[in-house]
Amino acid sequence: MIKSIGYAVKKSKNKLEPHQFTREEPGPEDVLIEVLYTGVCHSDVHQVNNDWKNTVWPCMPGHEVVGKVTRVGANVKNFKAGDTAAVGCMIESCMSCPSCIEGNEQYCESETSWLATYNGAMMPNGQNTFGGYSNTLVVSEHFVLKVPGNLDLKSVAPILCAGVTTYSPLKHFKVKAGQKVGVVGFGGLGHMATQIARAMGAEVTVLSTSPDKKEDALRLGASSFIHSGDKTQMEEAAESLDFILNTVPEKHEIEPYLELLRRDAVMIIVGVLMPEPGWDPQKVIMKRRLLGGSLIGSIRETQEVLDFCSEHGIAPQVEVIPIERINECFENVEKKKVRYRYVIDLASLKAVEGRSDLSDLGSVGNHLKKAQAADQAA
Ligand code: NAP
Ligand code: ZN
């Protein structure tokens, strides 16, 4: 067993607090990682708030992780102790369904779907996993990424979720040079989408509820900025965009954004994972517009976006924080105050190491358990 410490929420409505726990030993195909930096994704806040009604308690978030390999299983080929390694939202999938065979692990079709870095299997089966708000991670080799040498380790973590979640749909829907791309919401995902779409050659318009973000948006590659609360600015941009990536995390009216699409243009929603207020199908029918969605990205795409950022000099804008500030930072994320991603420096966990009052959360596994097995155990 690997003795570990991390910040978790023990049950609904609690705050994140330090706890100790143990991870199962790495198997022959696994990599044991000492976590150095972990990004704070808005999904972590949703999960801790149980906004999606699927939170498994205790909840230890963290799915944008960079660290050092400390040990590898006997069959691991591409990593060795001492290597830098990164982990995103997934640590395992069935690898035998049509989606996994295609290399789209994030759409794994097995009974439990993929195993999330935290909060367990995608199709709830009672299983839990603990993420990168801790000092260790055990991950199946296929799900471990290489970090290009020129990337600054302090700011690389957000590429693992914010980066790939925006890169994947931009690539899948073949956004190309010269196209006009709208990015709705200039936060963690939005500021990565802006930089990535710009590097793909697109002309980027940021649509934001925060006028004070204009300067940053232009500095990071947008050629124009629209305050989405200003009706006149929105009307002037009608039917001007070829593609919109919508990263808004809360329920919102999508019609005003559909109006910005040209004929045959596409809006992909990646932000909100809750039912939206109604919208009029005429908004898509009359202009043959498409409305779709996209879930994180595959392991291949995650490596691609790390390499793409390295090649194009793209870096998440981060504020590095000690883990004891995590509850305050969650509030700032909810209040749109983060500029543009908090990254936890896990060296700050040393402050709680060895504390005698840490409660023990027991043991967590790192591999998919069958729903049936979990049911029987329950
Ligand atoms: P974030 O850093 O908080 O950024 C979201 C931005 O959206 C905010 O900065 C704000 O930008 C805008 N916004 C916030 N509340 C809004 C509201 N009520 N109406 C309109 N705009 C609002 O969050 P993030 O980490 O980028 O994540 C965004 C969402 O993506 C979250 O819901 C997260 O769970 C989800 N997500 C989905 C996937 C996926 O696979 N599909 C993967 C990762 C994350 P402005 O100030 O510019 O308006
Ligand atoms: Zn995320």
Ligand 1: residue whose CA is nearest its atom 33: 43
* pLDDT the model gives residue 374: 47
In short, whether 310's Cβ falls inside 6 Å of ligand 1 is no
Question: What contacts 164, CB < 8 A, 6 or more positions away?
Answer: 88, 296, 297, 301, 302, 305
Nearest CA to ligand 1 atom 4: 187
The C-alpha atoms of residue 43 and residue 24 are separated, in whole angstroms, by 25
Each residue of 185-220: pLDDT tens digit? 999 999 999 999 999 999 999 999 999 999 999 999
Distance CA 112, CA 124 (A): 7
How many angstroms separate the CA atoms of 289 and 98, rounded?
Answer: 29
Structure confidence at residue 371 (pLDDT): 55
Which ligand has the nearest atom to the CA of 89? Answer: 2
**CATH number for the domain running over 2-161+298-377:** 3.90.180.10
Q: Is the CB of 158 within 6 Å of ligand 1?
A: no
- Phi, psi torsion values for 41, nearest 5 degrees: -90, 150
Q: In angstroms, what is the span from residue 221 Cα to ligand 1's centroid?
A: 19
Closest atom, ligand 1, to C-alpha of 293: 41
pLDDT (0 to 100) of residue 126: 87
Q: What is the pLDDT of residues 211-259, one digit of tens each?
A: 999 999 999 999 999 999 999 999 999 999 999 999 999 999 999 999 9
Which ligand is located closest to the Cα atom of residue 168? 1
Q: How is residue 15 written in tokens?
A: 């705050």
> Which residue's entry shows tokens 């990071």?
220
Closest ligand 1 atom number to CA of residue 213: 47
| CA 104 – CA 302 distance, rounded (Å) | 11
DSSP of 234-256:
HHHTTT-EEEEEE---S----HH
Domain boundaries for CATH 3.90.180.10 within the chain:
2-161+298-377
Q: Where in the chain is the domain with CATH 3.40.50.720?
A: 162-293
Compute the 3-state secondary structure of the chain and give helix, strand, coil in percent, each to the nearest 5: 30, 25, 45
| Ligand with the closest atom to the CA of 338 | 1
- The CATH superfamily assigned to 162-293 is NAD(P)-binding Rossmann-like Domain (3.40.50.720)
> Tens digit of pLDDT per residue, the chain (378 long)?
999 999 999 998 899 999 999 999 999 999 999 999 999 999 999 999 999 999 999 999 999 999 999 999 999 999 999 999 999 999 999 999 999 999 999 999 999 999 999 999 999 888 999 999 999 999 999 999 999 999 999 999 999 999 999 999 999 999 999 999 999 999 999 999 999 999 999 999 999 999 999 999 999 999 999 999 999 999 999 999 999 999 999 999 999 999 999 999 999 999 999 888 889 999 999 999 999 999 999 999 999 999 999 999 999 999 999 999 999 999 999 999 999 999 999 999 999 998 888 999 999 999 998 754 444 544
pTM: predicted TM-score of the whole model, two decimal places? 0.97
Beta bridge partners of 3: 22
